[in-house]
Amino acid sequence: MITQGVKVTAQCNACGGVLILDVGQYIDHGQLWWGTEGACTACPNGWCEQDTGGATPEEIRNALLAEHGPARLCLTDVESSLVPVLRVLREMLHLSLGQARVMASALQGTGLVGTLVEMELIADRLQRRSVATKIEKCEISTD
């Protein structure tokens, strides 16, 4: 199972104390899941939530990207047929043919960028169709 998580703090809505949040994404049985757990250090406020399908909430994605940095997925053989790539992208992401072509072109060129878990899931699906890929950590400029 591929997983990535981070702990962040926030203010508790119930008492104003420090809320410790454990957020993340993971792949389970070929699906992208996200989860969040929260517990206040000053009161009994706490919860656990997880879901699959649809998009990961932006606050979770942003926390993962801030902590771990983005990952870039690229095709290793840019000369091979894009038909299996288009098929995978359309099936996984429910894209139109035009949208899938734009993403496939990105995979051939500069690559797709997202969280490591998101890129691992797409890479796995592409590899099942015999499409070779590589994932690399993106360099983040501090300018």
Q: Read off the pLDDT of residues 76-126 as tens digits, 9 standing for 90 and up.
A: 987 888 999 999 999 998 999 999 999 999 999 999 999 999 999 999 999
Model confidence, pTM: 0.87
- State which residues form the domain around 62: 3-68
Q: What is the CATH number of the domain that holds 124?
A: 3.30.1390
**75 — pLDDT class (breaks 50, 70, 90):** very high
Is 143 within a domain?
A: no
Cα(33)–Cα(4) distance, integer angstroms: 11
Same domain membership, residue 79 and residue 64: no
Question: What are 142's two structure tokens?
Answer: 């501090």
Same domain membership, residue 30 and residue 75: no
Q: Going by DSSP bridges, is the β-strand pair 112-114/46-52 parallel, antiparallel, or unpaired?
A: unpaired
> How much is the pLDDT for 140?
60
Is 37 within a domain?
A: yes
